Structure 1
Amino acid sequence: MSNVVTTEPDTAEVTVEVPAGAARQARGVITRTLAAWGLTHLTRAAVMVGHELVANALRHGMPPAALRLLRRDGAVLIEVGDASPALPQIAEIDNETSTSGRGMFIVSRLARSWGVRPLPTGKVVWAELVQ
């Protein structure tokens, strides 16, 4: 993962370049950014959501992938883009011991809303957390 780029006071972006350790590094970027914004009360939920979105992009998407955080009008948006047109879905969980397919389920429970923005070069999956 490359260095964080801040293009505006309320935006932080990072490119996810290497799968190994990228989700861990994304958690660090989210933690540091929310601390800088004075939003540490959102850290736990944001880290879980960001981790799941980055992990899904790395597991099911295509490079390059990017993480972007935006602070807007009482909310924090977490966006993860990748070059794959495949859209995420909430998997039905068959039993309590199943460990796969829980990512978007977790995102849907922690975020006020989430969605997908198809792009000509792939997609952006986003989740909104309330400040």
Structure 2
Amino acid sequence: MPEPEAWEYSLYIPNDIRAVPVCRRLIRLVLTVHGLIHLADLAELLGAELVSNAVRHTKGPAALRVRWRDGTLRVGAWDADPEPPHFPGGFTAVPPTEGEDGRGLLVVRTCSDLWGWQPLSRFGNRGKYVWCELSAA
């Protein structure tokens, strides 16, 4: 099967936790139509974690971005808060085993090939973009 051409999709979402399953479905649909269904389960999980953090821990709108280029899938979430993503106890700490918070970025860090974040300022909008990458191999 030939390598898919580069493409990118973005979905702007309200600050509403109900947007998370919408984003999961969009990721699966996009990967299915582009012949990358083998990445769908993991990409859905990681995308849901990123979008969930964006809508749960910030105020204002958010966005999902799914991009394919050079054999790498990048899934990311933008939100309006320019502060770095928060790891409870710091980026090197082990997250708490009890409770429901504090493990999302650990899942992203553990399950992706590469992840990161960057502050953004464009057209007067501030915020950050948190992303992760999966290789097609």
1:1-131 aligned within 5 A: 10-91=7-88, 92-95=94-97, 97-120=98-121, 121-131=126-136
Conserved 8 A contact 2:50-2:130: yes
Give me the identity figure in percent. 36
In the TM superposition, residue 62 of structure 1 has moved relative to its aligned partner by: 2.7
47-56 vs 19-28, which deviates more?
Answer: 19-28
Q: Which amino acid aligns with 1:42?
A: L
Cα distance in 2, alignment partners of residues 83 and 40 from structure 1:
31
Secondary structure, aligned partner of 2:102:
coil
Q: Which runs of 5+ in 2 are unaligned?
A: 89-93
Distance change (3 Å), C-alpha of 1:105 and 1:128: same
Q: Which runs of 5+ in 1 are unaligned?
A: 1-7
| Pair member with larger Rg | 2
In the TM superposition, residue 90 of structure 1 has moved relative to its aligned partner by: 3.3
Conserved 8 A contact 2:83-2:119: no
With the length of structure 1 as denominator, give the TM-score of the two structures: 0.87
Q: Which amino acid aligns with 2:7?
A: D
Q: Which amino acid aligns with 1:112?
A: D
How many aligned positions are there?
123
Distance change (3 Å), C-alpha of 1:48 and 1:68: same
